[in-house]
Chains A and B, each alone.
Chain A
Amino acid sequence: MVAYELWTEKYRPHNLGDMINQKEIVERLESFVVAKNVPHCIFAGPPGTGKTTAALCLAHDLYKEGWREHLMELNASDERGINVVRETVKTFARTRSIGEIPFKIMILDEADNMTRDAQQALRRTMERFTETCRFILIANYSGKIIEPIQSRCAPFRFTYLSRDDQDAYLRRIIEKENIQIEDKGLNAIFEVCGGDLRRAVNTLQAAASLGKNIDEETVYSVIGRANPVDVRDMIILAMKGDFIKAREKLREMIMKYGVAGIDIIRQIHIEIFRSGIPEKWKVKLADAIGEIDFRLIQGAEDEVQLSALLARLVEAGYEIQKGG
């Protein structure tokens, strides 16, 4: 029997040398390995660009065998709050590592979800235990990390993968898993996933599970099934003036399918520019979308923020019709 698991994990690189993207970052990290010293770091960048993988590879290359003993991974989204930082982090950070390298590594994933208080507590911990523990903070937005922590860390900016990098990575998998795929299929994956490698691999695996030759149709059908509610329908409803129905669609996306607010707004942004509304309105709406995108980061409920945007679309639709 073939051993199946999720390919994102099965094909995750273990060494910095295996990473196909983010070349400059990888080079700097490799120099840390050579020097056997690592500063506190912030890895910032969009999802699926190798932040967590880079951190794990760094630890692996640094400690070699038994690397797990020198490493602790915490995910701030699951264990945020000030007490976790105080207790778990402190207990781990203060004990000295035995071995050649005198410090351990603490990976704090999705650190931009930590409250400010928790970040303040973390800042003190980082200072006190620098000798015995180095922190790698991983975040989508480095702006959500408080200044004092940022100034103590070496910043690393991760960017979306290039088309070549994505293809190189996917081809490795395609070969090992013996998949039939057309170039158009790969095209489609890149178009939809836009350099988010995690999403690309998941899409590839789901497409492969359908058990036939993968062409662009297959890819689009996978994407369609993975995102069953259409953002475009919602926009059309709003522009026609049916706010209540549009809000219902939004609710379904968020509550039933668990789609994140930032993904919805990104999609709205794309669709508005694709749509046939008067050109000057596209610019006006970009301003509205940008403002809500900004509020999403700090706001409490995605649905409320996006509803406000839908109301702006209702207003725009009304004025366009009037000939405004």
Chain B
Amino acid sequence: MYAAWTTKHKPHSLTEVVGNNEAIQNLTDWVKSWDKSIPKKRAAFLYGPPGVGKTVCIEALAHDLGMELVEKNASDYRTADMVKRFAGLASQYRTLFSHKRMILLDELDGITGTADKGGVRAVIEVVKEAHCPVVLIANDVYNPRFATLRHYCLLIEFKKPTVLQVVKRLKEICRREGITAEEETLKFVAQRSGRDVRSAINDLQALAQGKKHLAYEDVSWLAERNRKEVIFNVLRTIFYSRDCTEAKRALDTADVDQDMLFQWIYENVPHQLTDPQDLAKAMDSLSLADLYRGRIRSSQNWSLLRYVLDFMTAGVAMARERTKPSGWVPFRFPERIRWLSRTKSERDMRSRIGMKIRRKCHVSSVVAVKEFLPYMKIIFESNAAMASGIAEWLGLDEDMVEYLAGGKRQAKAIMKTLG
């Protein structure tokens, strides 16, 4: 069954909540003070960036203190009338079953109207008369709409947790899901999310669900995710511009890695330019761009970069002559990059074997992989005696033998002959 990990692994107790120790302490003290008497501020206003655990924190606190939590969000108090409907709930501290009650008004940013009318005004009325703790949550407490409301509230700021705190939480989730992952990998996910715990957990799920191990290559392509919007804008200009200067300028407006952008354009050309002639022209431009990339690489003459950029922007833009605009075609993530990470372990293994061959056969490891490996695979798959001789001669380890043999059983037979 698919369940969002943000729900599945939601902390039940405050001890599991990441970061914000001081805010949590203030909040707990205030809620507990209701046991003695009604405090001066009858509402607490929790504010801070998204995904730092404001709501989770209230839920966990209610759980820890054995309180009944009444949760309302934006859709419940769009108008004053709607607020009045649940206002009655706030008139009692102890419920019928002698639970203590707490009211949570979440997503207050979504409320309409100003301080003097509509929803906010009704909320103020509820707070003023409250006989149980009322907790308000919003991202931006200093929005003018909340100016009056603020007077009646204890303001508690939630800050972003540190990367390490986020990593700690991700680690715990990995442990529960039976996934192994290196610290570096999780750190990358945490950093990428901008220390937004919710989005980090969502990313983790998207990347790791169904896996036993989460490797760094699996996550590294995330690097560009935040840049997606920026990249999309550049792509839009390049694919739809009728003007060279405009297409070229698309690059200056956005701070994107040019190699990355090249991959995006290369991936999307056939999806955007479907007419065979346009396609051929655009791909020819990319081929020329690549030619200059190669020339830069071998000559280290970076002034040639301008031609790379010409061909990948203006060249592609000018290729559109016959493709009819067919509405909105979504941009796709460069498959090549996904391939690179998917095939990385195999390429690593091949190049390690290549290094072994290289030492014995007077070739580079690149040539070794290309010229020897395919034939060695056939030998290892079909002839254990010959394979074991070669394995010994090259000094291959068990993993290499298994890779070449294409399976554990054949690998065992080879290792047995090896003794």
* Residue ranges of A at the interface with B (Cβ–Cβ < 8 Å): 1-6, 8-9, 47-48, 52, 56, 73, 75-78, 109-110, 113, 115-117, 198-199, 202-203, 205-206, 208-211, 222, 225-227, 241, 243-244, 247-248, 251, 255-260, 263, 292, 295, 298-301, 303-305, 307-308, 310-312, 314-315, 317-319
Contacts and interface: CB of A to CB of B under 8 A. Distances in A.
Contact of B350 (A6, A258, A318): A258
B378 A300 contact: no
Given A5-B390, A77-B366, A300-B294, A255 B383 contact: no
A206 B287 contact: no
A226 B382 CA distance: 13
Given A6-B360, A77-B364, A115-B297, 7 more contacts: A73-B362, A75-B364, A113-B364, A209-B387, A247-B270, A259-B370, A315-B276
Nearest to A301: B290
Interface string B386-407: 1111100110000000000000
A289 to B, nearest CB: 13
Given A247-B270, A299-B294, A78 B276 contact: no
Given A300-B294, A304-B266, A78 B369 contact: no
A66 B244 CA distance: 65
Contacts of A115: 297-300
B256 interface: no
A298 B294 contact: yes
B233 to A, nearest CB: 23
Choose among B284, B290, B297 the residue with the greatest number of A CB atoms under 10 Å from its CB.
B290
Contacts of B286: 304, 307-308
Contacts of B159: none
B367 interface: yes
Majority-rule SS of A interface residues: helix
Contacts of B393: 3-6
Contacts of B383: 209-211
Contacts of B280: 308, 311-312, 314-315
11 contacts: A3-B393, A109-B362, A208-B386, A209-B387, A255-B339, A258-B370, A299-B291, A299-B294, A300-B291, A301-B290, A311-B280
A300 B290 contact: yes
B295 A298 contact: yes
Contacts of A263: 370
B375 to A, nearest CB: 4
Majority-rule SS of B interface residues: helix
Contact of B270 (A244, A292, A295): A244
Given A5-B393, A77-B366, A225-B378, A318 B340 contact: no
Choose among B286, B291, B340 the residue with the greatest number of A CB atoms under 10 Å from its CB.
B291
B321 interface: no
Given A251-B335, A300-B294, A307-B283, A5 B389 contact: yes
Given A209-B386, A244-B270, A305-B287, A314 B279 contact: yes
Nearest to A313: B280
A295 B360 CA distance: 33
B304 to A, nearest CB: 11
Contacts of B371: 47-48, 198-199, 202
Contacts of B283: 307-308, 310-312
Given A260-B370, A298-B298, A222 B378 contact: yes
Interface in B272-304: 276-277, 279-280, 282-284, 286-288, 290-291, 293-295, 297-300
Contacts of B300: 115-117
Given A2-B385, A202-B371, A312-B280, A255 B378 contact: no
A4 B374 contact: no
A298 B291 contact: yes
Contacts of B372: 6, 8, 202
Contacts of B276: 241, 311, 314-315, 317-319
Given A115-B298, A315-B279, A3 B343 contact: no
B352 interface: no
Nearest to A319: B276
A8 B360 CA distance: 10
Please provide the 3 A-B residue pairs with the shortest distance between their CB atoms, ordered closest to farther.
Answer: A4-B389, A77-B364, A308-B287
A303 B263 CA distance: 11
B290 A75 contact: no
A256 B346 contact: yes
Given A4-B385, A78-B364, A307 B266 contact: yes
A298 B295 CA distance: 6
B4 interface: no
A202 B361 CA distance: 12
B168 interface: no
A102 B270 CA distance: 61
B365 interface: yes
Given A5-B390, A6-B393, A300 B363 contact: no
Contacts of B293: 299-301
Choose among B271, B297, B362 the residue with the greatest number of A CB atoms under 10 Å from its CB.
B362
Contacts of A203: 375
A203 to B, nearest CB: 7
B78 interface: no
B155 interface: no
B87 to A, nearest CB: 59
Contacts of A3: 389, 393
B358 interface: yes
